[in-house]
Amino acid sequence: MAIFTGAGVAIVTPFKENGDIDFEKLNDLIDFQIENGTDAIIICGTTGESATMSHEEHLDVIKACVNHVNKRVPVVAGTGSNCTDTAIYLSVEAEKLGADALLVVTPYYNKATQKGLKEHFTMVAESVSLPIILYNVPSRTGCNILPETAVDLAKNVKNIVAIKEASGNISQVVKLASLAQGCIDIYSGNDDQVIPLLSLGGKGVISVLSNIAPRQTHDMVMEYLEGDRMKGLEIQLSMMELCNALFCEVNPIPVKKGVELMGLCGGTLRRPLTEMEPQNVKRLEEAMRGAGILK
């Protein structure tokens, strides 16, 4: 059984102007997402600026999310690291805090061979009982989970059950789906490729777009999966300009500005991320108006 089907939001982490985590605004964001159809909350991912958090902050945010969601939808906690011991520590603690599943990114900077990836993910998975979503995003990590590696892990490690595929390489996902034959659930990690991945048997998306367009993102997936494929495609195509605007600067700079423009929370970023360039803010505002998100 899939951890979730539909649209999971890779939710931003709101910060106060002094850089502290704004837990009150986090609760508001969670409620906004659930009220608008989001099928899962992915907390402390890349979009949540987890790389700038201390371990204590990281776990405090997971705890706050789990408690506020209160089983309304699954909570998937990002617990990956380029250090296997750290990934194990965060994963074990997230399980204790009540997360429903874990999102574990490939080791970054020091990278790994495919053999190293197998050992890393196996060791993390064996430290917990929660289901695990592998996170493949080579553009950020410099490390690619090959289809053969993902399938081997899914077949040999019982709680490795899914992969967030953000390689952007459709041919790689086709090969993965062909080799897997359903042994691993596939989620799109790219908002501009949701329908293509669903056509290959994907279960949904782990989405940046959903931060500002939760209903549209949910509907895009569910219309397609429930049989109205043209409606799902129509929503995908109507969101393309907004998807492009959301990635005109490094994620999560634009989406953090987007939630600020909607009045959902402040747009404070932690360094090294910096304020969005004015011309790109204008582009984002126009795209949000075009999608009916801003008036």
Catalytic positions, please?
135, 164
The letter for the amino acid at 131 is: P
CB-based contact 76:99 (threshold 8 Å): yes
Please state, in angstroms and rounded to a whole number, the distance separating the CA atoms of residues 50 and 69: 19
Q: Which amino acid, one-letter code, is at 176?
A: L
Peptide bond into 252 cis (omega under 30): yes
Residue 29 CA to its chain's centroid (Å): 15
Beta carbons of 256 and 5 less than 8 angstroms apart: no
Taking a C-beta distance cutoff of 8 angstroms, is the pair 55, 79 a contact?
no
Residue located via tokens 């951890």: 3
Question: How many other C-beta atoms are found inside a 10 Å radius of the C-beta of residue 286?
Answer: 14
Joined tokens for residue 282:
């204008």
Round to whole Å and give the CA distance between 105 and 114: 14
- Residues paired with 134 in a beta bridge: 104, 163
CA dihedral of 241, 10, 69, 23, whole degrees rounded to 10: -100
- Please report, for residues 107, 121, 162, 227, the alpha-carbon distance to residue 185 in angstroms, rounded to integers and kept in the order given: 21, 16, 4, 19
